[in-house]
Structure 1
Amino acid sequence: MERPMEKREQWSSKTEFLLTVCGNVVGLGNVWRFPYLCYKNGGGAFLVPYLLYVVVCGLPLFLLETSIGQYTQQGIVTSWRSLCPLAEGVGRAELLILIYDSIIYLVILAWTLFYLVLSFKSQLPWASCGNPWNTDQCMDFTLQNQSASWTLTINTTSAATEFWERRVLSISGGIDEVGSVRWELMLCLLACWAICYFCIWKGIRYSGKVVYFTATFPYVMLLVLLVRGLTLPGAWEGIHFYLYPDPIRLADPQVWMEAGTQVFFSYCVGRGSQTVLGSFNKYNNNCYKDSFWLCLLNGCTSFVAGFAVFSVLGFMAQKQGVSVAMVAESGPGLAFIAFPQAAALMPFPQLWTVCFFFMLLLLGIDTQFVLMEGVITSFTDLFPAILRRPRYREGFVLFYCVSCFLIQLSLITEGGIYVFQLIDYYGCSGACVLFVATFESLAVGWIFGADQMESAIKDMTSQQPCVLFRLCWRYLTPLVSLGSFILHMVDYKPLKFNHWYVYPDWAYALGWAMALSSILLVPLWGIGRICVSTGSLRQRLAVLSQPDDKLPLMWKQKYGNKDGHEMETIVLTGHTLNVAESNTESVQQCSQCKKCNI
């Protein structure tokens, strides 16, 4: 006997949705990327292009993607298929970027878990030289006179740097020298996958409970690190470097490009993850208000994290007798070199490294939950007849986890860091996201219709969106996104590892293949749909530009509302069905409701 399909899930409470989105957008980039970009690109002056990008691109796309998910009650691909079949390639490109993201993100979590475990040792292994992996050029800052001035020369490296490069990664001479798998990292990677699997295997009814801890506790850790950082000597010098405005830098196009990239990266737009999270909302959830508060929280977290980071960097610079500019790092360099080195100079260094790496682990796990749920949900909505049957989801989640784990083994070899940066630089690049975001806003603004999107939001929230959103979806967002994409391409520089290692030609070709796999998917899928459709070109375009008539507003326009009935959508077996709901109580399906005469 064929087993029935399960109903599509919804959040048990609005709090679960808010915490999950918070965990998604407040991630590693808020801690290790935004503060460095702010310092590097004019301090407080960097906030000008950053905030402009938030208003023109970040918030409009955040609201758009959340609303699309809530309106269609579908995953990334099927939501675009329902909204605008011609733009289905946008959803497929976003799904591909999510897969690339989930592959590299968990490797970062494996590194973080490795450092977290070693933080419990009585002697931190990155705090001193004299270990088997250290070289004669190793310098131990914890042994130096505090009043002395130490300057790193080209032949000198810190103990933290050597631990990262020679102990953790055991970096080979190039991407051609794969080397062996780092078994400690493999165990950490396996542990991270096990955590993620058992948190999302049953869907959002499990992961929605986990985020009560994983999305809130990082703020406790951030507060602890902030208070500790501000009480360190040299902290205010670091904060001065972080925020001191340099308006002249605003004349540099690179500053604006990096501000835009950070907004797209931090607000998780152009990837489709917000669409998936919104799809689990009830139809009448006020996603309009939610988007404002969540974007505000994201921006404030990035800003406050900068104080925690640069207060510690200011302390480390004072201890070493150098400028903050010489110790400032971003990305893995900050997390796995600069902060561990700074913590080693503090009293009770184990306490601060445990707090820091536990915070990073929780921030990363939250984001990984959403990346995985985005992929799983999208495939489930594409193949509901198979994946929405009892226990089939668990099997598919296991298959996805094992597949990614096997791929990631190449990223934790001695040459794995080269592969990691290749995927990060090309497959998950800002150029890909900017290109997808351009077509996303064009499809809604001009094909589905910005007015119709406004009507959908009003129908769901009973609030009329600000006219600025209509202007952004039609004009400002696609123009700014396209302009940023063009700047990215014009300013393109081939990837170099550590600023000196040049990849072989085949590696660059592989990188561009990953980048183009998502970029070309957008137009090629639309062209393919046109080619396989019937009728004249005008007729094909007209049909492919029409939204699914089962969507709530389309249903209302087709059948109307009678006797004060209000239409809402529920999801059964992966398809949007329409249900009549009276003002007082729910009644049976509209197709069987005698009052509606449908």
Structure 2
Amino acid sequence: MSNLSDNNNEYQWKSRFSFLMAMIGAAVGLGNIWRFSYVLYSNGGGAFLIPYFVAIFIMGIPFLILEYGLGAKFKNSLSNILKKIRPQLEILGWITAFLVFLVLTYYVVIMAWDLIYLLISFTKGWTTNPDMFFNTHIIVGANNLNNVFTPVIITLAATIFVWLLIWYISHKALDKGISKVVNILIPLLFIMMAIIVFYSFTLPGMDIGIKALLNPNWSLLLDINIWLAAFGQIIFSLSMGQAIAVTYAGYLPENSRLVDNVLVVVAANSGFELFTSLGVFSILGFMSFTSGLPIEQIATSGTGLLFVVFPEIFNVMGDMAYVIAPIFFLCVFFAGVTSALAFLEPMCLAVSRKFRISRARSVTLLCIFGFILSLVFTTASGNYVLTIADSFINQFGILLAVILQAVIFGWIYGVDKLIPVLNEHSTVKIGRTWVTVIKYIMPVFLSIMWIIGIFDLLNSQNSVEIIIQLLIAVIIVAVPFTLTKLKAR
């Protein structure tokens, strides 16, 4: 066993609270704000909550328990854990950490867009036509590679700031950097989102949005796509199988209540995204009420919701928008920061452990490399490449990594070895049912999701997009292969 806590405690949580805030921060990200409400709305409304909670209990909680157990037992990077199980498995640990790092390279660009909107929200600088503003000033280019060498200066400047912020927080020892930040940002995030949601309940037309969101379509429960949507939401919402939970749990002291911590994090994450979705749709209901447009013409997800629909709503909200809009974009930024810190951590630990370099040096090297990769997303073709990269990395890469981890830890390592570690200090105990879920139920469900996702991905792509995805695939294999072959110090 490798001890993560060195003389200056670069890799150790000072308190359970810091760990919980960091794990909640990793889970509560942009997707909780811009994605979940639309997934709920477009997949059967209130009926979607049944597969959603089933997915939490038969996949989300069991897999996070596995990751916490691995982190607590091995106290090492995922690549080193897999290397100890079988040396030839080391590369999978590097691939997993690198996939999450690649997500970070475009995640910071979306945070940069949000930072721009935060600054202009005080004057509604997105003008009376937010759609045109977003397309001509922020993402600029069309859906092609014609402008891949044309930087969008404002986005580039904001991206540099975000990378510097991530570096500044992460290069410090854990208790002086990430711990301090998450201990402040996560409580603030929850308070500010509560202000927005409770204000949204006072808006005329809020009931239109809530009814549209929660109106159950029970017939859709027989549609497998609804179930796949629920499982997909849980995987990405809880950052399952992305080496983040293994890494963060490895920084815990010996006597931690591992299973109890999982339940707290899952409850906080689900509570936040359900609560936020009520606010989002209350505000969309207000927009429907004031514009006369039906909800289905307004409701969307992703950057369209964040940078077009919400600015349009703030434009008709009156003077109160000058308060609510900055709070909203600050919420998004805080959620982004805490998730970005988590995305960097698995690669940081893996590099630091294998090559015996300090945390500060590891973070510095990764932030420089990450910034270079980010540059493509700050160009006038950046949004086009970002959309392709995001769908490929998530639907193909991360999902496959989760399946392989379930198989390796369930069958090759023997997941029941973790039961004593998990139960030793936990109030809630686990047993054979948990082992069955990890070994049998999870690999089957995830494999079905992955196969359907690949078919959807291939059927919706043109030749240029397939070439971009192949290039990403080469990078995903080449960098981890090189890191695996390099000699450890």
TM-score, length basis structure 2 = 0.92
Tell me the alpha carbon deviations over residues 272-304 of structure 1, each in whole angstroms, 9 at most, x when there is no partner: 111110110012211111001111111111111
CA distance in 2, matches of 1:224, 1:167: 30
* 1:405 is the counterpart of 2:371: yes
CA contact 1:445–1:474 (8 Å) conserved in 2: yes
Please report how far the alpha carbon of residue 431 of structure 1 lies from its aligned counterpart in structure 2 after TM superposition: 3.1
Letter in 2 for 1:217: L
Q: In the alignment, residue 231 of structure 1 is paired with which amino acid?
A: T
Structure 1 contact 126–340 (Cα < 8 Å) conserved: yes
Question: 1:271 touches 1:433 (CA, 8 Å); kept in 2?
Answer: yes
**1:243-298: CA deviations, max 9, x gaps?**
10001222322222221111100010121111110110012211111001111111
Amino acid at match of 1:445: G
Aligned to 1:312: 283
2:397 is aligned with 1:432: yes
CA drift at 1:24: 0.6
1:104 maps to: 106
Q: Indicate the structure (1 or 2) with the bigger Cα radius of gyration.
A: 1
Q: In 1, are the aligned partners of 2:147 and 2:379 still within 8 Å (CA)?
A: no
- AA at the equivalent of 1:223: A
Any conservation in 2 of the 1:71–1:283 contact (CA below 8 Å)? no
User: 2:387 pairs with 421, 438, 443, which one?
Assistant: 421
Deviation (angstroms), 1:6: 6.3
The one-letter code matched in structure 1 to 2:437 is C
**10, 26, 29: which one pairs with 1:27?**
29
Say if 1:276 and 1:377, in contact at 8 Å, map to a contact too.
yes
* Equivalent residue for 2:334, pick from 358, 362, 373: 362
| Residue 198 (structure 1) shift | 1.1
Specify which structure has the bigger relative contact order, considering alpha-carbon pairs within 8 angstroms and separated by 6 or more residues.
Answer: 2
- Partner residue, 1:554: none
Cα gap change, 1:7/1:223 in structure 2, threshold over 3 Å: closer, same or farther?
A: closer
CA apart distance, 1:495: 5.1
Within 2, Cα distance between the matches of 1:481 and 1:90?
17
Whole-angstrom CA distance in 2 between matches of 1:356 and 1:449:
45
Matched with 1:334 is 305
Q: Could you list the runs of 5+ residues in structure 1 that have no partner in the other structure?
A: 129-158, 497-502, 530-573, 576-598
Offset at residue 53 of structure 1 (A):
1.5
Find the aligned partners of 2:154 and 2:115 in 1 and give their Cα distance.
Answer: 10
Aligned with 2:467 (options 484, 496, 509):
509
Tell me, what secondary structure is at the counterpart of 2:316?
coil
Aligned length: 479
Paired with 1:271 and 1:516, the residues of 2 have a C-alpha distance of 19
Flag the 1:357–1:462 CA change in 2: closer, same or farther, 3 A.
closer
Using the aligned pairs only, state the percent identity.
24
Q: What is the match of residue 271 of structure 1?
A: 242
Instruction: List runs of 5+ in structure 2 lacking aligned partners.
Output: 1-5
177, 181, 203: which is aligned to 2:151? 181
1:208 paired with 2:179, answer: yes
1: CA distance, partners of 2:11 / 2:147 = 46
Q: Aligned residue for 2:3?
A: none
User: Residue by residue, what CA displacement relative to the aligned partner does 1:523-551 show, whole Å, maximum 9, x if unpaired?
Assistant: x99xx99xxxxxxxxxxxxxxxxxxxxxx
Q: Distance in 2 between matches of 1:117 and 1:430?
A: 33
Task: Give the counterpart of 1:166 among 128, 136, 143.
Answer: 136
Larger proportion of helix: 2
Quick one: distance in 2 between partners of 1:189 and 1:320? 35
Aligned-partner Cα distance in 2 for 1:88–1:398: 24
Deviations 1:285-338 (A, max 9, x none): 111110011111111111111101000001111111010010001011111111
TM-score scaled by structure 1? 0.76
- Check the 8 A contact 1:165/1:171 in 2, yes or no: yes
Deviations 1:387-412 (A, max 9, x none): 03xxxx32332222122222222211
SS state at 1:215 partner: helix
Distance apart, 1:85 and its partner CA? 3.9
Aligned to 1:138: none
1:131-142 matched pairs, under 5 angstroms? none
Q: Which residue of 1 aligns with 2:439?
A: 474
1:543 aligned residue: none
Task: Give, in whole Å, the separation in 2 of the partners of 1:87 and 1:463.
Answer: 32
Corresponding residue to 2:216 among 237, 245, 262: 245
CA contact (8 A) 1:172 1:179 kept: no
Change (3 A) 1:208 1:340: same
User: In 2, Cα distance between the equivalents of 1:83 and 1:216?
Assistant: 39
Kindly provide the CA deviation profile for residues 80-138 of structure 1, in whole angstroms up to 9, marking residues without a partner as x: 223454543431221121111110110111000000111122xx13241xxxxxxxxxx
Deviation string, structure 1 residues 158-205 (Cα, Å, up to 9, x no partner): x11111111222224621332521111111111111211111111312
Q: 1:223 to 1:245 in 2, by over 3 A?
A: same
Alignment counterpart, residue 271 of structure 2, candidates 292, 300, 303 = 300
C-alpha distance in structure 2 between counterparts of 1:462 and 1:230, whole Å: 38
- Change beyond 3 A, Cα 1:288–1:84: farther
**Are 2:445 and 1:483 equivalent residues in the alignment?**
no
* Greater percentage in strand: 1
Equivalent residue, structure 2, for 1:570: none
